[in-house]
Amino acid sequence: MDIPRIPLGDWIEGGLNWLTSEYSLVTRAISRVTQTGINGLNDAMMWIPPWALLAIIALLCWKAAGTRLGIGAAIGLALIWNLGLWEPMIETLTLVVIATMVAVVIAIPVGIAAALSERLYKTIMPVLDFMQTMPAFVYLIPAIPFFGIGSVSAIFATVIFSMPPAIRFTTLGIRQVPLELIEAADAYGATRRQKLLKVQLPLSLPTVMAGINQTIMLALSMVVIAAMIGADGLGSEVWRAIQRLRPGDGFEAGIAVVILAMLLDRLTQSMRKTRKS
């Protein structure tokens, strides 16, 4: 018995082609604005001498998490500088910062809305499951027809890939606020807005920060993968090493990615602990 094949791929391709043709002016405008932001932040960080930026980051790590992280940051960044990977590291950091900011700006309001609305919560959870289980490489496919090859497509794919944890943790944090505190706020006549801003969000902030931490880590991993579609940074160094069969260069770029990931992870964890205390 022959069962007709569902042309799902053709439907998706046709939908992408329609969106690309109908909204090309919008995507081009978004691409220009995003590229301007990428270039501006990248140029600003490249304008600072490496030794000065190294000292600033090490001081920030020391203030946020103590002497050990400050010394570790100085040693790790000095190693990246010594390996000649300072500029790719800055390009990667730029993409991670912009993608994380966009993802968080979208994710936190969505997470708040899902926490306050049971209907939206039940609707959005399967969508998040779908987004988190989809292989990361798949997100690169629709990015290219919308924004072309380069860093803007990398930002688009990274935002989509890294957003779910921030939404989930924001929703979880607000839903975990003790019911007794909500009832006490109601007893004092607090409005819904006052309960959210003065009770629910402050108490859920450590959980929200945990979601932002996971978003940053996913953004970093996706930015590295996005080198396949022309994104600059440490990922392009790894990809170039693979193409040229130079494992030493790839290993050096991989070490730089690990150092950057550890610094971002420790910084956000220290911010979470500070908020919690």
What are the pLDDT digits (tens) for 55-110?
A: 998 898 888 778 888 888 899 999 999 988 999 999 999 989 999 999 999 999 99
pTM of the model: 0.86
Indicate whether 63 belongs to any domain: yes
pLDDT at 44 over 60: yes
Q: What integer pLDDT is reported at residue 109 of this predicted model?
A: 92
| H or E segment to which residue 94 belongs | helix 86-116
Return the CATH number at 266. Answer: 1.10.3720.10
Indicate whether 149 belongs to any domain: yes
Q: pLDDT band at residue 274, thresholds of 50, 70 and 90?
A: low
Indicate whether 1 belongs to any domain: no
- The CA-atom distances, in angstroms, between 21 and each of 24, 27, 183 are 5, 10, 52
CB 169 within 8 A of CB 43: no
Q: What integer pLDDT is reported at residue 90 of this predicted model?
A: 92
CA distance 227 to 238: 8
Indicate whether 221 belongs to any domain: yes
Indicate whether 3 belongs to any domain: no
Q: What integer pLDDT is reported at residue 10 of this predicted model?
A: 83
CB 256 within 8 A of CB 85: yes
Indicate whether 7 belongs to any domain: no
Q: Which domain holds residue 41?
A: 23-274
Q: What integer pLDDT is reported at residue 101 of this predicted model?
A: 92
Number of domains in the chain: 1
Indicate whether 18 belongs to any domain: no
pLDDT at 277 over 60: no
Indicate whether 12 belongs to any domain: no
